[in-house]
A and B are shown apart, each in its own frame.
Chain A
Amino acid sequence: GAGVSQSPSNKVTEKGKDVELRCDPISGHTALYWYRQSLGQGLEFLIYFQGNSAPDKSGLPSDRFSAERTGGSVSTLTIQRTQQEDSAVYLCASSLGARKNTEAFFGQGTRLTVV
């Protein structure tokens, strides 16, 4: 596709359930990032992928959060045993690589609501 695609656009889940969020980056972009935007808060870095490997997972808030990327393309962010504080918009971005001066492009986000 022409841009970064995220699915679903909205997800309502019950507390304690697991959820999977999907990101399809721009074709040819080797770098992929996940960010979280909570209501009234700024963007919080979660994880970065270069190809299929994740050299920086420092932003994942707890061990309930995990992410993988396969084929150097699609990435899935999984949240296990969801809690109400996980409610936020999850944004994915991609860029051509980890080169210093590459532009990052964001998807439309997945709005997660835990009830």
Chain B
Amino acid sequence: KQEVTQIPAALSVPEGENLVLNCSFTDSAIYNLQWFRQDPGKGLTSLLLIQSSQREQTSGRLNASLDKSSGRSTLYIAASQPGDSATYLCAVRRDDYKLSFGAGTTVTVRA
């Protein structure tokens, strides 16, 4: 069974600081990894999708890396803003369809 762990569970930083969010998974035979953002009481917004053959993916201030062999992914958010405050979830796809999720990292960016 695929286990996905996100550390830390919560993170508080001052505005402008870079954010580093970690995701680890036990089964390295994945097809892809997806990072999501969830605001309180809302659904999930897809941020980045990294294919199993890729090492990293970038979108604006977001950069995600993937090291399949060690079962790790890191999401970097540059120059954080209060609007970045949310819960960030990583999910890995091992079978053709099912996503296995971590419990998330709740981020607070202080103005």
Answer whether residue A68 sits at the interface, using C-beta atoms and an 8 A cutoff. Answer: no
Do B99 and A104 have beta carbons less than 8 Å apart?
yes
Residues in chain B near residue A65, CB distance under 8 A: none
Interface centre among B31, B44, B91, B99 (most CB of A within 10 A): B44
Do B97 and A43 have beta carbons less than 8 Å apart?
no
Q: Chain A interface: which of B20-28, B34-42, B59-67, B69-77?
A: B34-42
Partner of A107, one of B32, B43, B102: B43
Interface residues on A, range: 20 to 34
Binary contact readout A87-103 vs B (1 if CB under 8 angstroms, 0 otherwise): 00001010100111101
A33 to B34, CA, bound (A): 15
* Contact of A33 with B49 at beta-carbon distance under 8 Å, contacts A106-B36, A111-B41 already known: no
A81 to B5, CA, bound (A): 34
Interface residues of A (CB under 8 A from B): 4, 6, 31, 33, 35, 41-43, 45, 48, 50, 56, 91, 93, 95, 98-101, 103-109, 111
Known contacts A43-B89, A109-B42; 14 further A-B pairs (Cβ under 8 A): A33-B97, A42-B102, A43-B99, A45-B99, A91-B44, A93-B99, A99-B96, A100-B93, A101-B49, A103-B46, A104-B46, A105-B46, A106-B44, A108-B43
Interface residues of B (CB under 8 A from A): 31-32, 34, 36, 41-46, 49, 51-52, 89, 91, 93, 96-104
Q: 3 smallest A-B Cβ distances: which pairs? A: A106-B44, A100-B31, A108-B43
**Can you list 30 A-B contacts with CB-CB less than 8 angstroms, sorted by A residue number?**
A6-B43, A31-B97, A33-B97, A41-B103, A42-B101, A42-B102, A42-B103, A43-B99, A43-B101, A45-B98, A48-B97, A48-B98, A50-B97, A91-B43, A91-B44, A93-B99, A98-B96, A98-B97, A99-B96, A100-B32, A101-B32, A104-B46, A104-B91, A104-B99, A106-B43, A106-B44, A106-B46, A108-B42, A109-B42, A111-B41
